Structure 1
């Protein structure tokens, strides 16, 4: 149960935990009778005996996990707001595409008899063929402009979709931070507890008997930490 050397477990903290274990052991803390009583109480429950300084470390761990959970939830709310904005911009871009498609369709409609009528005195002198040619040229230009607007609108949809994907990935990466730190906090707690118990067992009058009784209690990772590890980016609204 001796903690391994690692920069995530600072030397000063390791010495403090070791000294606390030595001090408690020399004071006969916890009493062997108390540990056995607790063991009898927990018999059949699957729980391990946790006493004294172990409880202090466990309380510190849960406090840290609560802080990280609050940070995780705050990030989640911020991400939801940002993605809602992305969805709104993407929807507006898609609506622009629909309008542009309608303008293209309208521009491509054949000329009507009314459109082929002269509009001023000069046009009244033109032949029907010349008038139709001029109208067809104008129609072709309208179609070209409408198609160009449609291309720009479609490009905007692509940009808005890419923005949303980037936002999801950015928030996914940010949200993994609290989960990573939570895993580190659990690992640090286990190392600190192991260091403490090893020093306690060496200094306690009943150390050899206590050592197997004060096992390193398992700590389950919170559900939200597991979710940050298993979830994949939701890039939705990509159609």
Structure 2
């Protein structure tokens, strides 16, 4: 945008910093911020008649519609810029002003008789974003993640029991059923039953554990109820381990022949 008639005076926009002041136990400190956008206001007029001080020399010529239309044309041009909502570049070489701006307010006033139009133009600096465009050097192949082949975990060694499949033996025996009924009656829970030799070794079980032959249960729950289960088991002839080394948190009860 070119200003045809320079104003008699103009406030040259100065750079202000967005500094911040903070209060601390040792007093106030100031942090230097980034620069604020500058503002500029111009008050002048668009000529409708040729003047010797017109920097464009276009007033009253055919390019602007002839005398009586030049000032109006400039107002219409400026209003089109505002409606397009795009920044313009303001250049006033005499004042060393060259900056992108957005128009905040434009107030034209018709001067009586002469056809010239007074105006006030308020603008704010517009900083054009600097975008770096990097030229592609070649086609980038997408990286496809490689997944290892799924290997299922080894199956646990099947539990070998001398009583497996024998009716009335192991956990199908009357002794096992009686224990389960008593556990249910007391509101307790069976935490361990039959084990494979491998599993028994992993947890440090006895070599001749009754769990290996499906003839034992480990029971957990309320301590008083476990006392009742232990007393019931001993009375019924079961082998019971309770409140002894390794058996303070559960009752071991089995019916293996010894």
Normalised to the residue count of structure 2, the TM-score between the two structures is 0.17
When Rg is computed on C-alpha atoms for both structures, the one with the higher figure is 2
Greater helix share, structure number: 1
- Higher relative contact order (CA closer than 8 Å, sequence separation 6+): 1
Normalised to the residue count of structure 1, the TM-score between the two structures is 0.18
Greater strand share, structure number: 2
